[in-house]
């Protein structure tokens, strides 16, 4: 819920956008295609990549294989046609990050600024709908 956590773009998207910027460089352009309380999707042009992204907290959006395994989350990225899954290993990530910050070796505002700005912009954008270069999963998922 946006009032409590900042919504999907801020709560879970911020980590994803930070990861994308780290891998592919700063953003040049973005458009939002879908926005509701449980899912968001859009397109972002970065310095070295164009990304169609989809974020969801709706369990019905999980792949069947993930549900059959009893896994609560699914994370993947496809680069040059090759899918890389990274759904595991996130359990203690916040704790480890906070320990590093308290030890004085965390990241500062300068490093986080671009992803915060992207999340803010997306959170405050109106969706364009299924136009342009949208994520193909939007043809399959339920929209509100």
The domains of the chain are located at 2-133
What's residue 48's pLDDT? Answer: 95
Q: What is the pLDDT of residue 25?
A: 93
pTM: 0.84
Report pLDDT for 90: 64
Structurally, at CATH architecture level, domain 2-133 sits in 2-Layer Sandwich (3.30)
How does pLDDT run across 24-41, given as a tens digit for each residue?
999 889 999 999 889 999
pLDDT at residue 31, rounded to an integer: 95
Strand partners, 50: 45
What are the C-alpha distances in Å from 46 to residues 25, 29, 30, 99, 104?
6, 7, 9, 30, 30
Taking CA atoms, 21 is separated from 12, 17, 95, 102, 104, in Å, by 15, 6, 22, 24, 23
Q: What's residue 70's pLDDT?
A: 87
Q: What is the CA radius of gyration of the chain?
A: 15
- Under-50 pLDDT residues of the chain: none
């Amino acid at each position: 819920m946006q009032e409590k956590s900042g919504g999907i773009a801020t709560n879970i998207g911020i980590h994803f956008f930070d990861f994308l910027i780290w891998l592919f460089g700063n953003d040049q352009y973005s458009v939002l295609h879908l926005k509701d309380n449980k899912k968001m999707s859009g397109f972002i042009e970065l310095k070295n990549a164009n990304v169609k992204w989809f974020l969801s907290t709706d369990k019905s959006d999980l792949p069947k294989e993930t549900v059959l395994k009893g896994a609560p989350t699914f994370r993947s990225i496809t680069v040059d046609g090759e899918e890389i899954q990274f759904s595991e290993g996130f359990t203690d990530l916040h704790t480890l990050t906070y320990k590093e910050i308290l030890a004085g070796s965390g990241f500062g505002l300068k490093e986080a600024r671009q992803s915060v700005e992207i999340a803010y912009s997306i959170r405050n954008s109106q969706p364009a709908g299924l136009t342009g270069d949208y994520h193909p999963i939007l043809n399959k998922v339920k929209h509100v």
